Copies of this chain bind each other. A is one copy, B any other.
Amino acid sequence: MIHKIMPNMSNSYVFVYLILLHSVLNLKGLAPWATRTRMAIVCQTKVTRNANMEKFRNGYLFPEIEKKKKAHMEKYPDAKVISLGVGDTTEPIPTIVTSAMAEHSLALSTPEGYKGYGDEQGNKSLRKAIADTIYGNMGIRENEVFISDGAQCDIARVQLMFGSNMTVAVQDPTFPAYVDSSIIMGQTGEVLEESGKYKGVEYMRCAPENLFFPDFSITPRTDIIFFCSPNNPTGQAASREQLQQLVDVAKRNGSIIVYDSAYASYISDDSPQSIYEIPGSKEVAIEISTFSKFAGFTGVRLGWTVVPDELLYSNGFPVLQDFDRIICTCFNGASSIAQAGGLACLSDEGHKAIRGVIDVYKENARILLDTFTSCGQEVYGGVNSPYLWVHFPGQKSWDIFSEILEKAHIITVPGCGFGPGGEGFIRVSSFNYKDCVLEACSRLRSFLG
């Protein structure tokens, strides 16, 4: 930029100029990154910053919230802040699972138990257990299951596989990693300042008036359709009919669905827990999932992605083979300890124990839902999902977020952080201890009442 303005300046002059510019901008609060560069002559490289990274307008949502939380706690050091924000698990993991991980760890100190690299795609036993347990009668084979260190990591790896020349559609609102990874990959244009939307991304509005399901009759074809069900943040699980419609659209358009089922285990009604419950889906869908919210593995890091053999690019080449190449080149398998834990989760006894934990959060969600409902608040989700999606018509999400934090000392997530369609909403998470949720509900009743 500077070089364009003053093409004849030598590099060192440019840099002195830049430093002065930083100082000025910084005083005006316009160049937050200037605070990180030292006010001394340092030598910048001649490497141009990735233009895709320049497109980001905001920081990543959750670290942003964390910053605001820290600032609030400095302002009110005695306040007992309750987090119903970041969807972070709080309940201890059942001992049947942690014992398996501890045993695996200790065995690494024995000649018989030591094992170095595993298969990049994951341990066969775990791949098979996922195919058998999670996808029992859906015809998923173990070679189609790739073990990961979490859904967010595999969203990035799937995007890396697809490359920059893809068009994408996302639910609006939805989990930010889809659009963010699209920006990084160069699949998008610049942000449109007015709407907050990125050029080149189809934002499929999902709101109460369309039962939180996209209107495909007005959605242009894209190569990729990201679809999260139960949706984060709206808490809506798509019905069988809706998912059949999604698969039909993908088939008609020759699109690939990237289906995120991270919260499938929270479904209580007969909504499908996997896209592969829908006939014909194996020819059009990848499914990304995780042990994070299923088994409290947010810190342990374990997930999986299914890429069916039947899924083919337009030239007939199997997508699975490119994903395998990405996994072998850019990943080296999930921690063997985490994988031992994952296997324990899928045993009969383990599965029963982690269901007990899910039920704790589901009970929290029920309590929160009752609270909002009894206060006459417009609220969605909380039945098939740990998240509630609360509407404050006419208000700005960040204002609601700030007001609830200021008055009730409760952290939520501003809906607009999930896309422009989230404006006017906040997401409330049920991931917390029951007594904290009860205390939060008491404060919310005062706040809303």
Contact = CB atoms under 8 A, between A and B. Distances in A.
Contacts of A310: 38, 42
Interface string A66-93: 0000000000000000000010111111
Contact of A152 (B59, B298, B330): B330
Interface in A26-57: 33, 36-38, 42-53, 56
A251 interface: yes
Copies of this chain, count: 2
A343 to B, nearest CB: 14
A250 B45 CA distance: 8
A256 B163 CA distance: 24
Nearest to A61: B328
A238 B86 CA distance: 46
Most buried by B among A150, A256, A316: A316
Contacts of A334: 149, 301, 335
Nearest to A323: B53
Given A109-B98, A120-B63, A45 B254 contact: yes
Given A53-B322, A116-B298, A164-B164, A331 B98 contact: no
Contacts of A298: 116-117, 332
Interface stretch (A176-184, A270-278, A381-389, A440-448): A176-184
A296 B116 contact: yes
Contact of A90 (B62, B91, B116): B116
A337 B101 contact: yes
A3 to B, nearest CB: 8
A180 B15 CA distance: 35
Contact of A15 (B46, B107, B316): B316
A328 B63 contact: yes
A109 B108 CA distance: 21
A405 interface: no
A38 B320 CA distance: 13
A181 B329 contact: yes
Contacts of A318: 33, 36-37
A119 to B, nearest CB: 9
A53 B150 CA distance: 23
B300 A337 contact: yes
Interface stretch (A153-161, A193-201, A365-373): A153-161
Q: Is the interface of A mostly helix, strand, loop or mixed?
A: loop
Interface in A113-156: 113-118, 120, 149-150, 152-153, 155-156
A333 B150 CA distance: 10
Interface in A392-443: 431
A224 B37 contact: no
Contacts of A284: 43, 45
A268 interface: no
A338 B90 CA distance: 20
A299 B153 contact: no
A219 interface: no
Contacts of A301: 149, 332-336
Contact of A321 (B33, B102, B152, B314): B33
Contacts of A19: 316
A49 to B, nearest CB: 4
B49 A317 contact: yes
A216 interface: no
A120 to B, nearest CB: 7
A165 B332 contact: no
Contacts of A116: 88-90, 296, 298-299, 431
21 contacts: A36-B320, A38-B309, A43-B312, A44-B313, A45-B250, A45-B313, A46-B254, A47-B224, A48-B223, A48-B313, A48-B314, A52-B163, A60-B325, A89-B116, A99-B106, A101-B108, A152-B331, A153-B332, A156-B329, A181-B330, A301-B332
Q: What are the 9 A-B residue pairs with the smallest beta carbon separation, nearest first? A: A46-B254, A156-B330, A50-B163, A102-B102, A101-B105, A49-B313, A116-B298, A44-B312, A88-B116
